[in-house]
Structure 1
Amino acid sequence: MKREDFLKKLEEMLISQIKIKINHGINHDLSNFSNQQQTNDVFSEKWSKYSHSQEKELLYEFQKKWYLELYGFDSEESLRGFLKNCDVIFDAGCGLGYKAAWFAQLAPHALIIGMDFSDSVKQASLVYQDISNLFFIQGDIANTNFKDNSFSYVSCDQVIMHTEDPEVTFIELARICKKPRGQVACYFYAKKALPRELLDDYFRSACTNMTNEELWAMSQQLTELGKRLSELNISFEAPDIPQLGIKGGTYDIQRFIYWNFIKCFWNVELGKETSIVTNYDWYSPSNARRFSENEVREIVKRNNLVVDFFHIEDACYSGRFINSSSELSK
């Protein structure tokens, strides 16, 4: 199919028509909610800065490998085989668009649409304008402007927590997912130990009054803290403290502080710039909701979806969820 054919298919899915120039269109670029707009501005700043990083390709490869693990695919070929049966794919909260481009390359027969509320979609549309089956729309993934049952596969990876009301956003993602046999893949931040949760909420609120320069400086300082703690190379046996949500066991000192008290991300393999951006990503946005496993499963159940695959790790819960009327495809 040619770009014109994919564009026609996209236009048929829209409730209200928007102007698409080559591979980019705008539903809306401003939010009526102050916290959401602040979050959008933070991510516009983040992606604008990181788009020039020499480290981003390393992050992209890391994220692709993690994506396979998060959503139950043994390999890239396994994902390719899954996408072979999808004709329209939605990357909800696409950022710089590298995962949407990945989907487009793995499924050249399918229409791929990436959407983000930040200005990152403008950069993505320029970088990937030669991929004929890939389009980017700036807009709210909680109000997509797509008709019911539009997408075979809806992927919302590491994004839903940053929307104004994640439950409402999930309802929208389920609405636009095809019935039957459509699937929604979604990642949810996991709640951490009580000291970390209390500090995160208090500190995030304080961060809303900081300038971008102050936020970047703080992110560099947190990265340096994580680096110095990691370089101590000290492990110890922590006691189990259930009332605080602190799990007992052997910890590296940096990871113990990271999981239980304050996010001070450092990854020598991904690099300094990526570590700084990761810390900026955490404390700068107003919207960054965390969930328990029961809360995630309840959200899925309330939307009449069933679990096809569910993943648990300290950082998150993630999975692929299908309509209860569809056939499980394990």
Structure 2
Amino acid sequence: MSLSSLLVRALSDPLNAVGSRRAIGYLGWNVPVELILAADAVPVQLGALPGCGTELADRFLENSFSAQSRIVAQRWLDGGLDALDAVIFSRSDDNAQRLYYYLCELQRVGVCKGPKPLLYDLARIQRGTSVAHTMESTRALAAALRVDESRLPAAMERVAVREKMLAELSKRRTADEVPLGSVAYRIERGARTDWSEEFDRSLQEWLSNCATGAPRKRVLLVGSAPADDRVHNAIEVDGTVVVGEINEASFLAPRAAVSGDSVETIARRYYDRTNAISTLLQSPADLVSAARALRADGVIVWMVATDTGLAWQAPRIERALREASLPTLMLTSKPQTLNADTLDQIAQFRRTLEVA
């Protein structure tokens, strides 16, 4: 099957790739997929689906929940996730953490059934006790998933191979001739959803033959992780190309030093990852350096209203980018769905880049 067909299958519904195998879902960006693979299960990242209503979820969730969380709740309540053995919720994702507690309570009072909810309690503070807590949480999660520790080295290698290809894709986007950003981001989303070896083969073939072009203008997209291709498609008009993203979804986990204990290595890797992206988003100087490395002609900072943690960083990010003379469009406190006003702002920003 071609990579394009695999992406359609995975992104139309991540459960399409499950088949009859044991499957474990997860919500959030910092969940150790290695543990799911070592538990002889199919990892399924849950998120937004095209055309999925949220009528049941709206009865229980406030407006502060993200669109992805609302859709996961909807599918949980209507039985659409019953095929999953369990679902892991990342504590480092505020929406995922809150949804975990809501669903546990709804199960307790008998409103719904569904898979077993599990919380991955990854600490975010940079101190020794946080590292120790994350290692303890990782061991607890491994036990809950019934991980076969003898399978962990192979699972870690499996993830390393996938991320090596994604790193190659990111490298291609720094060149003079680049693939469309919407295509690259679609591949990154699919790579978190379809963990089949067929996907690896198709991605490798695509990397060997991918179509590229010289963009007229290069844009860096910073902030919230888009749930689909619409933000990229709105930007990529008349030769403008998104050459990179800085958000929790697109950030590859750094390779932790391998210790004799595989669970400890995995725990350290995800602890380092969540702190690395937090540090980057809180360091405007590093964002400027990233934009320079990508030779960005402009930066769009897109933050959805439900991503409350990012809002505190917006003024510092804007000031640093403007002081660096990087044309910047601030789109903050936005709804998940692009509205006419946002589309007009993006179009006007593209026109200013053309005359710059």
After TM superposition, the score normalised by the length of structure 2 is 0.26
Give the structure with the larger helix fraction. 2
- Which structure's relative contact order is higher, taking Cα pairs within 8 Å and 6+ residues apart? 1
- Structure in which a larger fraction of residues adopt strand: 1
TM-score of the pair, normalised by structure 1: 0.27
